[in-house]
Amino acid sequence: MKVSPEQIVEEIATALEISPNSIGVATTSSDIEEWDSLGHISILSRLDAIFDNVTERIPELASAASVGEILKLLNQ
């Protein structure tokens, strides 16, 4: 699967209900107040909905702590 940085930023922003302009590839979970444990579940749910249950195929997404890490895992 090939995911663009812009697409993943948009999907994470949607999951966290924040502006996509407030995050980028270098953003980590500690940079965003909304990216707590519940926020991470929202991100994973959003990714599963968009990418057909991707968390089953890439369990490492559950511990990913940055936009860049999620992007890297999705593009493996």
Cα(37)–Cα(63) distance, rounded to whole angstroms? Answer: 10
CA 43 remoteness from chain centre: 5
Model's pTM, two decimal places?
A: 0.94
Half-sphere exposure for 72 (CA within 13 Å, toward CB)? 10
- Give the chain's largest Cα–Cα span: 29
Sign of the alpha-carbon dihedral angle for 51, 55, 58, 60: positive
Fold classification of 5-74 is: 1.10.1200
Parse the chain into domains and list their residue ranges.
5-74
For the chain, what percent of residues have pLDDT higher than 90? 97
Nearest to 22 by CA among 9, 11, 40: 9
- Confidence class of residue 47 from pLDDT cuts 50, 70 and 90? very high
For residue 1, pLDDT over 80 is answered with no
